[in-house]
Structure 1
Amino acid sequence: MARTLPRPRSPLSTVRRWYEEKLGWPTTGTEPVELLTGVRFDVLEMPADAGHAVLRRMPHTGPVALLRPERGGKQAEDRPKLLMLIAAGGAEELPGILEWLEWGTLAADLTAHGAGGRMPAPAIPSKGRASGGCGTREAAGWVRPPQPGYEAENSLPTTGMGTGIGDGGGAPDLVRLVSAAATECHRARLVRARNGQSDRACGAQPLAFSNASRMSAGTRPRSLTL
């Protein structure tokens, strides 16, 4: 009697199992695989040029992914995005933090995904190192990957008592992260405008920095000429 050999697992099935079993993160049943936000983490999203500047300023932020646009995209929303994982519930706090920092609508490029949202599942990192893409379009990869067997939530930016800059395993302060991100989003937009790159999708934006954000980030006022 002929034996029926087990069917090999697809790469998408492997990705889904890694996130669900190794990290305990819920995923969707879609292809390519997506991670559900608002359960174990929320996501802070910003243009990649601004996000990399934030990473240079704040080396302890928790896991970070890079989302690449579809090929052929020409609009402002088709730029690469950096996705920073923050503590669950942080997405709901973003508007209030921006208002408190006196950014208002100045940080239009800074958004968040919380309960009911999702993000593309980056490829499984290779031996803890940053990954390439995942899925049919290879849309996302880890810049700072999560570590299996380690409670990633303990390193996610959050508000409240016990937060700081992330040293010693403590979670970074979400307000500091948002302050730095808003500043760098605005600075990146000014650079793009100076270089003649379009920001039509985001509309007109005043060329000004928030005083509260500069104070929170501990920086001196900067010239708008960059």
Structure 2
Amino acid sequence: MTLTVPPPRTALPAERESRADGASRGTCARWYEHELGWATAGSAPVRLLTGLRFDALVVPAAAGHAVLRRVGPTGPVALSGRRMSLLVAPGSADELPGLLDWLEWGGVALALTALGVGGRITAPPPPGRPGTPGAAVWLRPPCPPHEQEGGPVLPALSGFGSRGGGAPDLIRLVDAVATECHRARLTRARTEMSPGETAAQPLAFS
């Protein structure tokens, strides 16, 4: 009996794209793990675990852009949709409630969250590598430790002001973030009011 061997099957376009995406995600995770020493999870998309090498302050994108203009140098900053993540020193998430109270922002409704142990953010493609439209991107990318002068720089509780031209002190950064989140909320409230309501109920910035 003669056996007929079927010809090799050519992968369909969707299969080739899926394999390429999988390889890209694997490369992305390896870069973060090997170059930066950051823990990752998942593959669609890759996530960066917070609370280990860094925490993250997550704010509305509009407020985040205002903060970047205001404070100058920061740690790494990622944009994902309408939210921006500012990376800060590990442990900062636990310090945030007390800092907000100390800065007299306690009790004020702010669209500000802090991710520490157990949190995660979407990993943008490594710097210099293309991403897909609408995916997370680095606005201020991280640098591998061997490319950093003086070690990694993340905002931390190290005293007032900036640290030798590096990232700002965590207190200064949190105050700027809270101010811009509050400003964005008041601006949004103004736009949602009718002209009569705005005139009758003026809103003042803190």
Aligned runs of 1:62-141 on 2, under 5 Å? Answer: 62-68=75-81, 80-126=82-128, 133=131, 138-141=134-137
Q: For 1:158, give the aligned amino acid.
A: A
Deviation at 1:29, TM superposition (A): 3.2
In 2 relative to 1, CA 133–110 (structure 1 residues): closer, same or farther, beyond 3 Å? Answer: farther
SS of residue matched to 1:154: coil
Q: Which residue of 2 aligns with 1:19?
A: 32
SS of residue matched to 2:79: strand
Segments of 5+ residues of structure 1 without an aligned counterpart are: 1-6, 69-79, 198-206, 211-226
In 2 relative to 1, CA 107–165 (structure 1 residues): closer, same or farther, beyond 3 Å? Answer: farther
Q: Are 1:61 and 1:166, in contact at CA under 8 Å, matched by a contact in 2?
A: no
Q: When the two structures are superposed, what TM-score results if normalisation uses the length of structure 2?
A: 0.77
> Aligned equivalents of 1:178 and 1:55: distance in 2?
12
> CA RMSD for the aligned pairs?
2.6
Segments of 5+ residues of structure 2 without an aligned counterpart are: 1-18, 194-202
Aligned runs of 1:124-203 on 2, under 5 Å? Answer: 124-126=126-128, 133=131, 138-148=134-144, 149-150=146-147, 154-161=152-159, 164-169=161-166, 171-196=167-192
Deviation at 1:110, TM superposition (A): 1.1
Deviations 1:51-87 (A, max 9, x none): 100000111111000011xxxxxxxxxxx01100000
Q: Which residue of 1 aligns with 2:11?
A: none
> Aligned equivalents of 1:138 and 1:85: distance in 2?
21
Deviation at 1:139, TM superposition (A): 3.1
Task: Give percent identity, aligned residues only.
Answer: 56
> Aligned equivalents of 1:191 and 1:133: distance in 2?
32
Q: Are 1:155 and 1:172, in contact at CA under 8 Å, matched by a contact in 2?
A: no
Q: For 1:57, give the aligned amino acid.
A: R
Aligned runs of 1:212-223 on 2, under 5 Å? Answer: none
In 2 relative to 1, CA 151–139 (structure 1 residues): closer, same or farther, beyond 3 Å? Answer: same
In 2 relative to 1, CA 182–118 (structure 1 residues): closer, same or farther, beyond 3 Å? Answer: same
Q: Which residue of 2 aligns with 1:215?
A: none
